[in-house]
Amino acid sequence: MGNLIKKKRKKKIALIYGVTGQDGSYLVEFLLKKNYIVHGVKRRSSSANTDRIDHIYDSINFKNKNFFIHYGDITDSSSVFNIINNTKPNEIYNLAAQSHVRVSFEIPEYTANTTALGTLRILEALKSLNLFKTKYYQASSSEMFGKQKSNIPQNESTKFYPMSVYGVSKVFAHNTTILYREAYGIFACNGILFNHESPRRGPNFVTKKIVQGLVRIKLKKQKVLTLGNLYAIRDWGHAIDYVESMWKIMQYKKPDDWVIATNYEISVKKFINLCAKKLKINLIWKNNAEKEVGIDKDLKKTIIKIDKKYFRPGEVDYLKGDFSKARKQLKWKPKYNINSLIDEMIKSELNFHEK
């Protein structure tokens, strides 16, 4: 028994804010495999928000004895303080955010409160509790680069030019992380992650919306997929690769800021074309701008339309990341490419409909 307790004490303790999200769910799996004790924070909601982690944790059967869930909210300082004080983690991963860029224009104050001030609350709690040995990971974003005319690809030295309330909030959080590192010596790191997707991606992000829509159209469960700007270009990776980078960032010999990307970029339209081809939909395009439509040539039916409501007051046209620093110093590189990412997303969507 004594040995067992000793063994348990040796395990590292991680605390994840945003554990119910896409990245949080993969990070729990990753850290449990690394033998961590993992605490996750979920917020109260009137309907279930634990779908992505139910296979690891359930409050009735306690499937995993090394995984604990706490109610909390990044907008509530007292809960942040109490959870950190009670769990005394070795590592905190802050993935909690109002993470949807277009929605951030509709709920700007709430976005700033979670995405910007949430970071400050955690770092302040570490300072007040004298937990200067606890490492901190901040989920920074390529959305901070925003409008870049000539700085392509973007790296750790590229100047930020955010184009959304979300982007501005992430810049605040990013700079606050650097401040607490420099002012108080906290091991606080920023992972500047470019877009990353997976079958667990939220349904209102463009890749998931496209895969879900085209699969349903193929299965005759949906008639039309309605989208916004088809010409935005993104550097899309897989969330599984990117959570590995988070952990590597926290194990590096010193705290720092890191760009994580694939260095391969395509437009939303090309993403649609790739998905259509894989689903054997014979897609052709007609007209321009808001009148542009995607037509299933075999069925002679319009299956893709544009709706202005999905356009943003401020758009980010072109994101492509240069992750040479991470490749060299963290020995990190992505294992997935755009094809294997789409294949996995389509397969999972088809499986869902087969059930």
157 binds, among ligand G4F, ligand NAP, none (CB under 5 to 8 A by kind): none
What x-and-dash track marks residues 47-86 binding ligand NAP by CB under 6 A? Answer: --x-----------------------xxx-----------
Among 19, 31, 37, 101, binds ligand G4F (CB under 6 A): 101
In the complex, least distance from residue 11 CB atom to ligand G4F, rounded to whole angstroms: 31
Whether residue 203 is preceded by a cis peptide bond, meaning omega within 30 degrees of 0, is no
234 binds ligand G4F (CB under 6 A): yes
| Interface stretch with ligand G4F, choices 6-14, 39-47, 81-89, 203-211 (CB under 6 A) | 203-211
Contact 137, 347 (CB under 8 A): no
- Least distance (Å) from ligand G4F to the CB of residue 164? 8
Which one of 174, 196, 209, 218 is in contact with ligand NAP (CB under 6 A)? 196
Number of residues that bind ligand NAP (CB under 6 A): 26
- Per CB under 6 A, 205 contacts ligand G4F: yes
Distance between CA atoms of 125 and 130, rounded to whole angstroms? 8
The rounded Cα 207 to chain-centroid distance in angstroms is 13
Q: Do the Cβ atoms of 196 and 21 come closer than 8 Å?
A: no
DSSP string, 39-106: EEEE---SS---TTTTTT--TTT---TTEEEEE--TT-HHHHHHHHHHH--SEEEE--S---HHHHHH
Nearer CB in complex with ligand G4F: 68/310 = 310
Q: Establish if 95 lies at the interface with ligand NAP (CB under 6 A).
A: yes
**Phi-psi sector, 300: left (phi>0), alpha (psi -120 to 50), beta:** left
CA distance 185 to 117: 20
Instruction: Using CB under 6 A, pick the residue from 79, 148, 195, 245 that binds ligand G4F.
Output: 195
Q: What φ, ψ does residue 124 adopt, rounded to 5°?
A: -65, -40
Q: Please report whether residue 310 would count as binding ligand G4F according to CB under 6 A.
A: yes
Residue 258 identity? W
Strands 293-296, 283-286: pairing kind: antiparallel
Q: Which of 13, 14, 15, 21 binds ligand NAP (CB under 6 A)?
A: 21
Residues 6 or more apart whose CB falls under 8 angstroms from that of 308 comprise 228, 290
How many Cβ atoms sit within 10 Å of the Cβ of residue 244? 18
Instruction: Pick one of ligand G4F, ligand NAP, none as the site partner of residue 101 (Cβ within 5 to 8 A by kind).
Output: ligand G4F
Strands (E) across the chain are located at 13-17, 37-42, 67-71, 91-94, 135-141, 188-193, 196-197, 225-227, 233-234, 237-238, 257-260, 266-267, 283-286, 293-296, 301-306
Q: Which residue among 87, 98, 104, 111 contacts ligand NAP (CB under 6 A)? A: 98
In angstroms, the CA 83 to CA 97 distance is 18
Binds ligand G4F (CB under 6 A): choice among 229, 263, 267, 329: 229
Residue 310 binding result from ligand NAP, ligand G4F, none, given CB thresholds of 5 to 8 Å by partner type: ligand G4F
Collapsing DSSP states into helix, strand and coil, what is residue 7? helix
Binding mask 126-155 for ligand NAP (x = CB under 6 A): -------------x-x--------------
Is residue 193 part of the contact set for ligand NAP (CB under 6 A)? yes
For strands 188-193 and 225-227, give the pairing: unpaired
Is residue 23 at the binding interface for ligand G4F, with CB under 6 A as the rule?
A: no
Piece of the chain touching ligand G4F by CB under 6 A; list 58-66, 87-95, 140-148, 211-219: 140-148
Q: Which residues of the chain form contacts with ligand NAP (CB under 6 A)?
A: 17-18, 20-24, 41, 43, 45, 49, 73-75, 95-99, 114, 139, 141, 193, 195-196, 202
Q: Which residues of the chain form contacts with ligand G4F (CB under 6 A)?
A: 99, 101, 141-143, 194-195, 204-206, 209, 227-229, 232, 234, 268, 310, 312, 315, 319
